[in-house]
Amino acid sequence: MGLWEHIVAGVLAVLLSEPLLGVPVVILMVSGGFLLGITVGATPGLAGPMAMAIALPILISIFGFSNDALLPVLGFLIGIMKGATVGGAVPAILFNTPGTPDAYMTTLDGYPMAQKGEAKRALRIAHFSSASGDTFSDIVLVVCAPFLAILVERYLDLPEKTALLILSLAFIASVIGGSVGKGIISMGLGLLAAMIATGEDFYPRLTMGQSNLAEGIPIAAAVLGVLILGEVFKALEDLHRQSGSNASPEITPGKGSALSRADLRRLFPYVGRSALIGTCIGALPGVGSTLAATLGYTTAKRRYIASKPDYAPDFGDGAAEGIAATEAANSSVSGANLIPVLSLGIPGNAAAVFLILAMDSIGGFNPGPSVFRLGGGIGDSVMNPEMVMVFGIFTSMFVANALNWTIGGIFMRSVGFMARIPKERLLPIVLLLTLTAIYVQETSMAAIWMTVFFGFLGYGMRRVGMSPLPFVIAFILGQNLEATARQAFAATGADPFFLFNSPIALAFILMSSGVVIYNLRKSAP
Amino acid sequence: MKAILKTFALTAALSIVSAAGAVADGTGWKPSGPIKMIIAFAAGGGADTQARLIADDIQAATGWEVIPEQVTGKGGVNALLALKDMPADGTAIAMVVTESLGYNAAAAGNAGIVPSDFAGLTTTAGFQMGVVAKADKGWSSFADTIAAAKEGNLRFGTMSPKLSDLAFLLGEAQGVEFNIVQVAGGKAVMNGVQAGDMDLGFMAGIQGKGVASGDLVNLASALSEPLVQTPDAPTLADLGVQFNADGYFVFVAPGGMDTAARDALTAAIVEAANNGKASAMIEKAFGGAVTIQGSELDALLQSDYEAASELMQAVQ
């Protein structure tokens, strides 16, 4: 079966999925996820990954572990991921409070515009830029992921694959967060946790005789504990310390003009440039949408100063270009960050972590180069079900884009009230939902205690200024790294220097040391 | 009047349901509560699907509530450890492979698992384990493979320590050395062979379609008998290895189980494997149901366990 048959089958898998309430279930799930994502994004204190984390175990308990479950579950998660970046701009513009961290730059021009009575216009610009960036990024994903996968398959043998994993971890540890040392410690802790009770030996190692650990640490317990509980604990403490709120007064969207063709033409170069920046950053593992937004904004600012007419507002005083540059950049991360996920199985940010977690829990889809192999390794006359699944995922992403262009803007302008929900109410709900979700998936109290333990670990890491993301990514890649390294060692006839014998592997290892040393020097005073 | 009719209809319906229940468990045995079915395989794979279908079939046929639960890892040893201390009253069973109670239990000596700790219920299906390579390697017989291995070490993919031992012995018997690459599961061996990370490997049935389409070749049977699909391929015994990879999916319960419970559960599983929704799946994925039960199964598990130590000594 050729590529075309796989594409058609993938599209049909979405469009002809079992109807629920008269709508194909995958499309329904993407829509549900998307609207939930906008709502969550518009709520300061909640973020896309949080909603994805809580939704995942609940979705799995509804859809089960069958192959039919993958697309509806992934569709919902992708919907949340995309909706949240759009929604993040709403409170940024109306309340001067970013709904998601990557919308911080949007407050700089969004809120001043709103103060001038142009709130609705600002929201429209944010939506237009966000949807454009997102669509662009998805197109790049569809074009690039298969080629990257084929390149990996053709040129990388087991030692090179090991070296590539080491390079990804080195990159993530040194780029995320302010300190290379803390990043590496965070990554090391993640690898240590991944070592517990895994490996090829029949004896469950590092469990200290605890039978609850014999199956290893449940991946959901570690990931949700560090990412979600850690955040909730820290936010609760922050609330406790803060007295009174210093929120800016709300501005209602009011009436405003639609964007004219001239507006769009003026904004287009800013959107385009930022979309390109966001896409490139998204494709690198570990560098998230916040950096993309910052880079998009600063690049646009430099451009703008050089070319702006005298009467136009400066960046920071309500320039439409500022909103456009930020929103296009942070939204274009979401498609591109699936490039390393699908072609290498390496997650680049928290949202990608939950997509991998979903694929891993449901089974039947193992992200990596084999996904893009025609015939699935069985024969040319046979469909590769994983490849069909990939095109189903791509189709879901474009369904989300279509929703974004059509109803996204309208829905976005109606969720401003979410920012008024007090965190004192919100955080305990998140805490309870997370623990419930863990119990639904693992059905054991031991898993709950482990989650709470990792929650305190995540809290501690945040307190000392250590990013928990390297921990999570290392935890997810840890087993893969160990298995690949073992296999490479065996395949080369027990050669201890397998990482240094091929030019590509050697280059990856040198780059790994290079990226650590470079970032160490940069952060040194 | 309406109310009376309603009551009557309800009573009639209830009595039919209870009568059907009584017919289903002909032996008269009934579990004292829900049956926990431990599955030693990762969620979503072929083995897991088989177990869950069997659970559905049992529930539909007998009305007993069956709750599947995953306990994976360590080649089924984790599942056996979890099962061992559960009540032997028919409310806990597990699906593993015979290798879990054989080689893996023997290799995990300090885990304290021996076949006599468990009551075997029935096997459900066997593996069509072959030594497989890609057709474009150009090897039409095992002798071609050995000739290639003499020119440079070949990479041999396996999916368990027992199979790694067999690959080692196979190389030794043929006077060559393989670089044995052990991965997690047959799918991973298939991917490795396809991607060129491995030159040949053990596959337990997953190769069927590829061999049929001519993309893969069964070079040898890893069983004591020839493969159904490639009857001409030599067996491991033909190639000078006195051990084989014969193996089955098997349901077990904690040892010391009451005979009535054991018989009723066995009958329910055998019925599902032969005639239920599971049977179609087993036919498609594993080439048909194989149900070895009772004393024959006990003997099989015991002899596998004993053969394991011999195999381990042979590779030392």
- Domain segments of chain A: what residues? 3-241+261-522
Q: Considering chain A, what is the average pLDDT of its residues? A: 85
Choose among B43, B49, B153: nearest Cβ to A361. Answer: B43
**Does position A285 have pLDDT exceeding 90, yes or no?**
no
CA distance to partner chain B, nearest, from residue A368 (Å): 11
Structure tokens at A385: 């079900």
> CA–CA separation, A34 vs A30, rounded Å?
6
Predicted model pTM: 0.84
Residue A12 pLDDT greater than 90, yes or no: no
pLDDT at A168: 87
Q: Which residue has the higher pLDDT, B42 or A12?
A: A12
Residues of B in contact with A203 (CB under 8 A): 108, 110-111
How far is it, in rounded angstroms, from Cα B47 to Cα B25? 26
Mean pLDDT calculated for residue range A426-437: 89
pLDDT of residue B22: 42
* CA-to-CA separations, A470 to A176, A184, A191, A466, B79, in angstroms, rounded: 7, 8, 10, 9, 32
Residue B18 has pLDDT above 50, yes or no: no
Highest mean pLDDT among A93-107, A250-264, B81-95: B81-95
Answer yes or no: are the C-beta atoms of A343 and A373 closer than 8 Å: no
pLDDT value of residue A259: 75
Q: Residue B316 corresponds to which tokens in the numbers above?
A: 């030392």
- Among chain B residues, the shortest Cα distance to A216 is held by B73
Residue B44 is predicted with a pLDDT of: 65
| Chain A residues close to B196, C-beta within 8 Å | 157
- Least Cα distance to B188 among A479, A73, A476 occurs for A479
Q: Which residue has the tokens 């609705």?
A: A120
Residue among B72, B196, B210 whose CB faces A379 most closely? B210
- Each residue of A166-218: pLDDT tens digit? 998 998 888 877 789 999 999 999 999 999 988 877 777 888 888 888 888 98
Which H or E run includes A80? helix A70-87
For A260-284, give one letter per residue: b (16+ CB within 10 A) or e: eeebeeebeebbebbbbbbbbbbbb
The alpha-carbon gap from B293 to the nearest alpha carbon of chain A, in Å, equals 28
**pLDDT, tens digit, 9 for 90 and up, residues A441-455:** 777 899 999 999 999
Q: Please, which pLDDT band fits residue B9 given cuts at 50, 70 and 90?
A: low
Answer whether B73 sits within 8 Å of A197, measured CB to CB: yes
Of A364, A373, A487, the CB nearest to B194: A373
pLDDT at residue A54 is higher than 50: yes
pLDDT value, residue B226: 92
Give the residue-averaged pLDDT of A423-435: 88
pLDDT at res. B19? 43
- Render pLDDT for A220-257 as a digit per residue (tens, 0 to 9): 899 889 988 998 999 889 888 875 555 566 666 665 66
Q: Which residues of B touch A215 (CB under 8 A)?
A: 71-73, 78
Size of interface A-B (CB pairs under 8 A): 103
The alpha carbon of residue A111 is apart from the nearest alpha carbon of chain B, in Å, by: 49
Residue B23 has pLDDT above 50, yes or no: no
In terms of Cβ atoms closer than 10 Å to its own Cβ (0-12, 13-18, 19+), residue A68 is middle
Asked if B78's CB is within 8 angstroms of A370's CB, the reply is no
The partner residue sitting opposite B209, judged by closest CB among A198, A378, A490, is: A378
Q: Is the pLDDT of residue B17 over 50?
A: no
Report chain B residues whose CB lies below 8 A from the CB of A197: 73
- What would the pLDDT profile of B89-143 be if each residue is shown by its tens digit? 999 999 999 999 999 998 887 778 899 899 999 999 998 899 999 998 999 889 9
Q: What is the per-residue pLDDT for A249?
A: 66
Of the partner residues A67, A369, A382, the one whose CB lies closest to the CB of residue B213: A382
The pLDDT score that the predictor gives to residue B91 is 93
Question: For B29-51, what is the mean pLDDT?
Answer: 86
Q: What is the pLDDT of residues A446-490, one digit of tens each?
A: 999 999 999 999 999 999 999 888 998 899 889 889 999 999 999
Mutate to test the interface with B, among A73, A365, A443, A487 (most CBs of B within 10 A): A487
Query: What is the pLDDT confidence band of residue B8, given thresholds at 50, 70 and 90?
Result: low
- Among partner residues B43, B81, B209, which is closest to A379 by beta-carbon distance? B209
β-pair partners for B67: B36
DSSP A285-324: TT--HHHHHHHHHHHHHHHHHHH--TTSPPTTS--HHHHH
CB contact under 8 A, B182 and A490: yes
Mutate which: B70, B163, B213, vs A, most A CBs within 10 A: B213
Q: What secondary structure, in 3-state letters, does A192-212 show?
A: HHHHCCCCCCCCCCCCCCCHH
Cβ–Cβ below 8 Å for A215 and B78: yes
Chain A residues with CB within 8 Å of chain B CB: 65-67, 153, 157-158, 197-198, 200, 202-204, 211, 214-216, 361-364, 366, 369-370, 373, 375, 377-382, 443, 483, 486-487, 490-494
Distance from CA of A337 to the nearest CA of B (A): 24
DSSP state of B67: E
- Side-chain half-sphere of A111: how many Cα atoms within 13 Å? 18
Cβ-defined contact of A202 to B48 (cutoff 8 Å):
no
Which member of B73, B181, B209 has the closest CB to residue A490?
B181
Which residues in chain A have their CB less than 8 angstroms from residue B185's CB? none
As a dihedral over the C-alpha atoms of residue A435, residue A436, residue A441, residue A446, rounded to 10 degrees, the angle is 50
Question: Taking residues B60-85, what's their average pLDDT?
Answer: 89
Check CB contact under 8 Å for A204 and B78. Answer: yes
In terms of Cβ atoms closer than 10 Å to its own Cβ (0-12, 13-18, 19+), residue B290 is middle
**Which pLDDT belongs to residue B16?**
47
Distance CA A374, CA B47 (A): 25
Residue A303: the pLDDT is 84
CB atoms within 10 A of CB B182: 20
- Residues of B within 8 A of A443 (CB-CB) are 69
The alpha carbon of residue A5 is apart from the nearest alpha carbon of chain B, in Å, by 18
Least trusted range by pLDDT, from A58-62, A240-244, B239-243: A240-244
Q: Per-residue pLDDT averaged across A393-405, rounded?
A: 92
Q: Say whether A246 sits in a helix, a strand or coil.
A: coil
Contact A319, A122 (CB under 8 A): no
Among A415, A58, A470, A429, which Cα is nearest to A235's? A429
- Tell me the percentage of chain A whose pLDDT exceeds 70: 94
Report chain B's mean pLDDT, rounded to a whole number: 86
pLDDT of residue A159 exceeding 70, the answer is yes
Judged on CB neighbours under 10 Å (0-12, 13-18, 19+), A11 is middle
Site from A56, A202, A442 to mutate, B interface, most B CB atoms within 10 angstroms: A202
Q: Cβ–Cβ of A491/B183 closer than 8 Å?
A: no
pLDDT recorded at residue A504: 93
pLDDT of residue B262: 93
